[in-house]
Chains A and B, each alone.
Chain A
Amino acid sequence: MSEVVQNLFWILVFPGFLFTVGLGLLASWIVRKVSALVQHRVGPPMLQPVYDVIKLLGKETLIPEAGQRATFMFSPLIGFSAVLLLSTMLWRISFVPASPFVGDIIVAIYLMVIPSLALILGSSASASPQASMGTAREMKLVVAYELPLVLAFLVVIIKTAGAVGDGRQLSLAAIAEHAPVLSISGMIAFLSALLCVQAKLGFVPFDIAEAETELASGVLIEYSGALLAMWTLMQGVMLVALPLFLVVAFLGGFGSGAWGILAGAGKYVLVLVLIILIKNTNPRVRIDQAMRFFWFWCGTAAVVAVALAILGNLFSIGWL
């Protein structure tokens, strides 16, 4: 009985849903504050994302007459629950590495696609021409960044398979014990995965689907009130889940003990600040430029990284 209660607490409160949502709101404050500091502004107070969400919950929720009502209302929930699940999984293998399950790598990759799919679903259900422009761009962006992201993750799998030896199950927990970023192929893979995560978060230079100045918030244009609050929360939790995924996959994850947790938190903040700095020092690119960038540049770099990783495994060269 006590184990059930403990597991429930684990999933629902710490470090599961409640903690992740809190951390996500904190992370979205950090994004706004650091952006403000980069622009020599003061920036919003610490509880600003909380105020925003409370306010949105109290506002009127408008649903377009011509839209698909059910799809429009349920897609924020789908996206939000997918990222919550992903982050809970990542916390679990970070803190209790002894209990992996078969195929968690594949599950993590699938869960990472669902928020974008939910955005596409919700915005195409809203029957707004600007939202459909945003939807088309979001779809192209997903097609563009999934290829280099999976290739980069393949590098991690190959490097880990070379390091763990025969007979051990290859899971996220095994991956978290190694830091592939300390090799040439791992470094290349990390950089291309970082740019893919930037696109997944919908941050500049890849905020093509939202594009406030030309599409007037694009995919989110018709959302208001509680549904918009759900999207805001989802984007906050994505700010936890995706950098955490990079930390687990590339940077060696959380170690054991207090120092391990501190080091893991440091790595997370490092990735987050890198993302914010890329966001603040780049202009928005066009969708064709983004596709060419991801397929041609990131894709080629990731293929080279995969080849290097295989060579490194064959000849047992750790740094390759």
Chain B
Amino acid sequence: MDWRIWSLKKSPWVFHVNTGACNNCDIEVVDCLTPRFDIERFGMKLVGSPRHADALLVTGGVTAQAAHRLREVYRQTPKPCVVFAIGACACDKGIFTTGYHMVGPVDKIIREIDPDAIIVYVPGCPPKPEAIISGAIKALSAL
């Protein structure tokens, strides 16, 4: 295995991007860091800047205003990186499917600038922390 991929699996640092979520998925993302789940066991760390990140945890169905920011954050993330679409909204806009202000979902926006991006879908409203961790493990083993 390539040493870059091997080390990426050992220490995926994540950056949290909210593109218009109702805060429910965000709470579940933060839950992953608590003593009960403690994703730092797998070397995951929540970082403050997309420049440090290996994975983007995107929540929300991408509003018209957030789309530009999401593209910019994806461009600023050093490659190789993985995008997580967390929650029903991020996967396919959820209950906001017909919303006038929604331009998402996440994969559409990301594919506009990078057709080969690795995108992981974690459905649920909100997804359980277990589901998020399981998605992370599947994504990392698919690299």
Contact = CB atoms under 8 A, between A and B. Distances in A.
Given A44-B40, A225-B78, A58 B8 contact: yes
B48 A54 contact: no
Interface string B34-55: 0100101101000111011010
A140 interface: no
A48 interface: yes
Interface in B39-85: 40-41, 43, 47-49, 51-52, 54, 76, 78-80
Nearest to A49: B11
A183 B41 CA distance: 43
Given A52-B11, A59-B78, A40 B35 contact: yes
B7 interface: yes
A18 interface: no
B111 interface: no
B57 to A, nearest CB: 15
B2 to A, nearest CB: 8
Contact of B43 (A52, A59, A220): A52
A41 B48 contact: no
Given A59-B54, A60-B78, A62-B76, A51 B43 contact: yes
A223 B51 contact: yes
A272 B51 CA distance: 29
Given A51-B43, A217-B47, A58 B3 contact: yes
A36 interface: yes
Q: How large is the interface on A (under 10, 10 to 19, 20 to 34, 35 or more residues)?
A: 20 to 34
Contact of A42 (B7, B38, B49): B38
A231 to B, nearest CB: 10
Contacts of A223: 51-52
Interface residues of B, number: 21
Interface string A55-96: 100111110000000000000000000000000000000000
B8 A217 contact: no
Contact of B38 (A36, A60, A62): A36
A217 B49 contact: yes
A2 interface: no
A54 B7 contact: yes
Contact of A43 (B8, B40, B78, B80): B40
B11 A216 contact: no
B40 A36 contact: yes
Contact of A220 (B49, B78, B80): B49
Which of B3, B4, B38, B40 lies at the interface centre, i.e. has the most chain A CB atoms within 10 A of its CB? B40
Nearest to B79: A60
Most A CB contacts (10 A, CB to CB) among B40, B43, B51, B79 go to B51
21 contacts: A39-B35, A40-B35, A41-B38, A41-B40, A42-B41, A43-B40, A44-B40, A48-B10, A52-B43, A55-B54, A58-B3, A59-B4, A59-B79, A62-B51, A62-B76, A62-B78, A213-B48, A217-B47, A221-B51, A222-B51, A228-B52
Interface of A: 32, 36, 39-45, 48, 51-52, 54-55, 58-62, 210, 212-213, 215-217, 220-225, 228
